[in-house]
Structure formats: structure tokens, C-alpha cells
Amino acid sequence: MFAELNQLELMLQQAPKLVQSQQLGKVQLKTQQLPVYAIEIGKRAKDKPVLLLTGGVHGLERIGTQVLLAYLESLCARLQWDQHFAALFDKVQLCMVPLLNPGGMALGWRSNPQHIDLMRNAPTEAVEKAAFLLGGHRVSRFLPWYRGEPGELAQENQWLIAYVRKFFQAPFMLALDCHSGFGRTDRLWFPYAKTAKQPIAHLAQMYRLQQLLFQSFPQQNYIFEPQSRHYLCHGDLWDHLYDESQQYHQIFLPLTLEMGSWNWVRKNPFQLLKSHGLFHPVKPHRVKRVLRSHLILLDFLLHATAAAPDWLGTVGSAQQQAAEALWYSKA
Ligand SMILES: [Zn+2]
């Protein structure tokens, strides 16, 4: 076992009643079995919007899991005394899979123990040219960004996809998957990763969500954009789940948080010598700052999900035009 998994299990033992957990499966690693937990706050109901938070998809990116654990800790504490806050969960359901790839995290690998990059492994193909290697490949299991063999879906992804599917009946679902390692600034990416030409069907709703975020918290400096502005890849989990959700009468807005780690490295070049190198802040005060700064975002997403029936009604052609001009114009 390792720190994040221990911390999670300890928290679940002491959690208030409203916080329920289950194991989606167990990853076998040598003699150890490492469980993948799903945590739910608020009862399931057909008419309830759902917020899904995931992390630890890449085992090296421990900070993503730590951000979610910090949020869970805060939620558990608050539910003990704040009845007004607890009542929010009559309107919204929160689901969290904070550590999808415990085998990878235990090994200190990006991939799962079978060398599969879980974010290149979903059954979806890039429409245009994917980035070389980085965009997912089948050259060798021993190079990073390996997709898995054709038709091979990693067990961790099978568990997550089956779990997320249960919520496609909900009227609205928002998701945030926490990663680190790209660029200097914190980014919020949305699909597609498979094409730069075709926007998602709910581009206008995505635009409205970013407006709500920046209007409510003007001091935030996230960059909000389609992932395809940077590179294209095969097998993106959220591309796949988004497309699958289209069969239902649901609006599903999946986001990926890419915490800009190059800044941590710039401030501490020796960090490159550590095994977690680019993917985790080393200095404790920097870890604390990262954990603290994203709590505002997570809280915003929770409230935006609960209030979705109200703000979705105000989305129309104005947002669609603004979104296309901002994210998809050639100029
Ligand atoms: Zn990642």
C-alpha cells in the first residue's frame, strides 16, 4: 500500500453516513490487491444531475489524486456541521473515483501494471493525424503512451466505463478528470482529443460553463479550451464516454484538469532528478498551494451541477457563435 490509498481508506472508515463507497474492482500487483474505490455523496435518483470527479488515471500524477482527497476531506468535515451544505446533496449527486490506477501509482508508472496508458486505451480513433507516440501507439508495450492491442480494454477502464454508464440516465452530468504535467498554466480541457475540426455537440453549453466560472471567479486563471488545440490522440476516455452518452437524452460535459507542472520545475530545477519529475510539486508549501487552489474549482463544479437545470435553459445560439469564434475559428 502507499500513502494515497491509505489516506483514502482511513477517510472512508471515518466518513459521515451520507458518504458511501464501493469497490469497482481490485488490481492484482504481485501479492497485493489494490482496490479501486468509487465514492458517492447523495442518494441516486433519476432526475438528479451528477458531478463525477476522477483522478490517478496516470500513476505518476499523484497530485491529481491528492487534490481529490483534499476535497473529500473537506466535504466530510463540512457535512458534520453544515446542514445547508448537506441539503445540496438532495439536488445533486457527487461521484468520485479518486484513484483509478492504483497499480500504476504503486509502481510509480504513468501506465497501468500491464503498461497500458489508460488515456490512450478507449475504443476511439483519432480522425486526423494523432501526435507521434504521444498520441497513442502500438509500437511497443515498453514505450510510454502505449494503447494496448486492438480490442484490448484495460480492466481499470472497463470498471470506469461501466460505472459512468450507470449515470447516463441522469439529466445532466459534469465530469472533471485531474491530471498534471502539461505546460505552465492550469488548463481545463474538453473533448475532442480525436479531432480538431469537429466540435462536440454541446459546445454552447461548454462555453456557458466557462462563462459561469470566469464570471463567478474572475481571479481564476485557468485556460479553458478543447484539448485538440494542443495535440490529437487515440483512445481518449472522455471522447469515448462523451460519444457514448449521445445515445441518451443527456447533456454530458467532461473536463480534464491539466495542472501546469512546468512552473514547479522552473522554480525547482532539481525536481527533474526525482522520479516523479515533471508530474508532482516537490516542496510541501507548493503541494499545499496546489491542493488549496483547486478546491474553489471543485466547489464551483458542484454548485454548477446542482444549478444546471436553471442555467442550461439560458444557452442558445449566442453561446454557440461565441464558442465557435473563440475555439474553432481559423483566424
Ligand atoms: Zn495524465
Closest Cα partner for 255 from 64, 23, 90, 12?
64
pLDDT at 264: 63
CA of 33 to the centre of ligand 1 (A): 23
pLDDT tens for residues 66-122? 999 999 999 999 999 999 999 999 999 999 999 999 999 999 999 999 999 999 999
Q: Name residues whose C-beta falls within 8 Å of residue 161's C-beta, 6 or more positions apart in sequence.
A: 122, 153, 237, 240, 241, 244
Express the helix, strand and coil content of the chain in percent, nearest 5 each: 45, 20, 40
pLDDT at 276: 62
Cell 484538469 found at: 257
Residue-number span of the structural domain to which 7 is assigned: 3-327
Does the pLDDT of residue 267 top 90, yes or no?
no
Q: Are 182 and 134 in contact (CB under 8 A)?
A: no
pLDDT tens for residues 115-141? 999 999 999 999 999 999 999 999 999
The grid cell for 275 is 522520479
Does the pLDDT of residue 261 top 90, yes or no?
no
CA of 156 to the centre of ligand 1 (A): 15
pLDDT at 291: 86
Name the pLDDT band for 299 (thresholds 50, 70, 90). very high
Name the pLDDT band for 268 (thresholds 50, 70, 90). low
CA of 64 to the centre of ligand 1 (A): 9
CA of 259 to the centre of ligand 1 (A): 9
CA of 140 to the centre of ligand 1 (A): 19
Average pLDDT score over the chain? 93
The grid cell for 153 is 480494454
The alpha helices in the chain, defined as continuous H runs, are 3-14, 62-81, 83-87, 102-107, 155-165, 203-216, 237-245, 262-267, 284-306, 308-311, 317-327
pLDDT at 129: 93
CA of 181 to the centre of ligand 1 (A): 7
Q: Rounded to an integer, what distance in angstroms lies between the CA atom of residue 98 and that of residue 52? A: 10
pLDDT at 280: 67
CA of 72 to the centre of ligand 1 (A): 20
CA atoms lying within 13 Å on the CB side of residue 126: 21
pLDDT at 273: 57
Lowest model confidence (mean pLDDT) among 195-209, 214-228, 281-295, 315-329: 281-295
Q: Rounded mean pLDDT of 283-309? A: 90
3-state secondary structure of 108: coil
> Domain containing 121 — which CATH number?
3.40.630.10
User: Residue 273: left (phi > 0), alpha (psi -120 to 50), or beta?
Assistant: alpha
pLDDT at 243: 97
CA of 198 to the centre of ligand 1 (A): 23
Does the pLDDT of residue 30 top 60, yes or no?
yes
Q: How many domains does the chain have?
A: 1
CA of 47 to the centre of ligand 1 (A): 32
CA of 56 to the centre of ligand 1 (A): 8
CA of 239 to the centre of ligand 1 (A): 15
pLDDT tens for residues 145-166? 999 999 999 999 999 999 999 9
CA–CA–CA angle 123, 95, 216 (5° rounding): 105
The grid cell for 310 is 436553471
Q: Rounded to an integer, what distance in angstroms lies between the CA atom of residue 66 and that of residue 73? A: 10
